[in-house]
Amino acid sequence: MISSVTNPLSSDSEYDVIVAGAGPGGLTLSCFLSMRGFRVFLVDPRESLAPLGRGELIQPLGLRILEELGLLDALLSEEHVCYDKFCFFDFNGKPMMVSSYRGKGLSYEWALSIEPYLQDRLMWRMLENSPFVTLLPGGRYVAHESRENGIDVMIESREGLKTIRGKVLVGDDGRDSRLRKNLSLPGSVKEYADSYVSWSFDLPDGVSPDSAAGDPAARYYLGPGEIFFLFSTAPRKRFFLYMLKDRKFDEFISRGDVDFLARISQCIPGMGDVLVEAGFPGVSALKEWVIQKVDLKHWVKDRAVVIGDAAHATNPHVAQGRNQAMEDGRLLSVHLEAAFSGSTTSLAEELRRFETIRIERTECLHHLADEMCLVWNSDNPLIVWGRERVFRGISKTPSMNRKIVRTISGEDFLPLSLLDRARAFLKGLFASICLVIILGDWT
Ligand SMILES: Cc1cc2nc3c(=O)[nH]c(=O)nc-3n(C[C@H](O)[C@H](O)[C@H](O)COP(=O)(O)OP(=O)(O)OC[C@H]3O[C@@H](n4cnc5c(N)ncnc54)[C@H](O)[C@@H]3O)c2cc1C
């Protein structure tokens, strides 16, 4: 359970910022604002912060933000795994590429793999200890009305409906954002064609981390219309994501457990048996993640602004959603501070500046995510064949590897050019031809 702090619904208080949603974006924003002494009201329907059945990657961008908040060391004392490289294989377990964070000039040469609720809980606790923050778990934003010098926000909780007054309303209320709907912000919200199922489990006692199935490495297996990701969130805790092409969940279930376990054993010999020993609940019990793409032309209207997935939800291939939501929170706190304390700049101006900077970056990430989905998720034999050559080519080209890693770290955005791709393809093709000539390997 997470607890509320101070009498949250006393109507005489006026807050600097009312935050709807305690996702990583809203939490980050509230932490920064409270550190600077601004009064924050944070409301979220969640009554407790619990495991999701999968982990998430906190990239160097997110690690830097946690460090700025003084929370990184505390997070590192929770169960986690640090990854300095990510390994890509084809669906027969044959290596295609290794992306290493080493020597790329990043703030951190690793990404953290962790159960996301551990980060949220840590931030919530920081806010519980702040005299500037009022927390209301078990409540939700319903509606709002802008006034001349502020905003009235209607909150629903066990105690009924109440209006809270503030200067600004920030919606970090997720991909189905109510605030976004109420503001009628222009742009598009749609679902990606493919979804993912996940399961997290403890590695059975008898399975060694030195074995193929027990290895804690971060691994992606890409096949024609099939993807299996296997990561660790602790030395003996694993989770996987498996793509459902065209969201055919019923077909996936009808193919049954035996088929699924055999498929993943094709990637990693013995993996199916390990899952069974770990208590695999069966394919029908797996949680399905339907992914949305939120692509807005504006995030701001009057005194209200959306951030995080509410503003720019994207595909998890770029492993950026949490990190970018945190960056929204960090940057918005800077602009709000300027608006609240400066006489030279207005709130409207600062919100517009924030929006312009962040839309530019998140649009780039949307393009990258779309391209990754097109290439990674494809079942087209020609694309799959070309993709495998490009992956192998990139592996042999340090400058391209650097661009990819710096982009995925969230600290930079360096997309591959057409020339890069052509070079990678030719290098990969050459490597394949050598394999055919020397080893007679046609795969
Ligand atoms: C399968 C999968 C894997 C992923 N892997 C990664 C990864 O490795 N790295 C990464 O960076 N990202 C990853 N993501 C993305 C990441 O989970 C999200 O981008 C991130 O959680 C978004 O954060 P947010 O701040 O927008 O808030 P959200 O996490 O979307 O939370 C929104 C909050 O708003 C609350 N809320 C809802 N309605 C209301 C209301 N009316 N009033 C008040 N509060 C409300 C909800 O209870 C919730 O707490 C992954 C996503 C998926 C689906």
Q: What is the pTM of this model?
A: 0.94
289 lines ligand 1 (CB under 6 A): yes
Domains of the chain: 14-79+115-188+293-370 (3.50.50.60), 195-289 (3.30.9.10), 378-439 (no CATH)
Average pLDDT over residues 9-37: 91
**pLDDT category of residue 11 using cuts at 50, 70 and 90:** low
Cα 43 to chain centroid distance, Å, stands at 21
Using the atom order of ligand 1, give the atom closest to the CA of residue 308: 26
Q: Is the pLDDT of residue 266 over 90?
A: yes
Residues 20, 156: contact at Cβ < 8 Å?
Answer: no
Confidence category of residue 421, pLDDT binned at 50, 70, 90: confident
Mean pLDDT of 15-26: 98
Is the per-residue pLDDT at 104 higher than 60?
Answer: yes
Q: What integer pLDDT is reported at residue 418 of this predicted model?
A: 84
pLDDT of residue 394: 87
* Helix, strand, coil share of the chain (percent; to 5): 40, 25, 35
pLDDT at 439: 64
Amino acid present at 8: P
Test site for ligand 1: of 140, 195, 309, 326, most ligand atoms within 8 A of the Cβ:
309
Q: 175 CA distance to ligand 1 centroid (A)?
A: 7
Probe residue for ligand 1, chosen from 19, 44, 322, 324 as the CB with the greatest number of ligand atoms within 8 Å: 322
Query: pLDDT tens digit string along 248-265?
Result: 999 999 999 999 999 999
Nearest CA to ligand 1 atom 31: 23
CA distance 49 to 44: 11
pLDDT for 379 equals: 96
Which pLDDT tens digit goes with each residue over 268-311?
Answer: 999 999 999 999 999 999 999 999 999 999 999 999 999 999 99
pLDDT given for residue 436 in this prediction: 67
Closest-CA residue to 216 (of 84, 117, 323, 74):
84
Q: What is the mean pLDDT of residues 11-28?
A: 91
Q: How many whole angstroms from 309 Cα to the centroid of ligand 1? A: 6
> Which pLDDT tens digit goes with each residue over 365-403?
999 999 999 999 999 999 999 999 889 888 888 888 899
- The pLDDT, as a whole number, for residue 148 is 86
CA distance 207 to 205: 6
**Radius of gyration from C-alpha coordinates of the chain:** 23
pLDDT at res. 441:
67
pLDDT at 1: 60
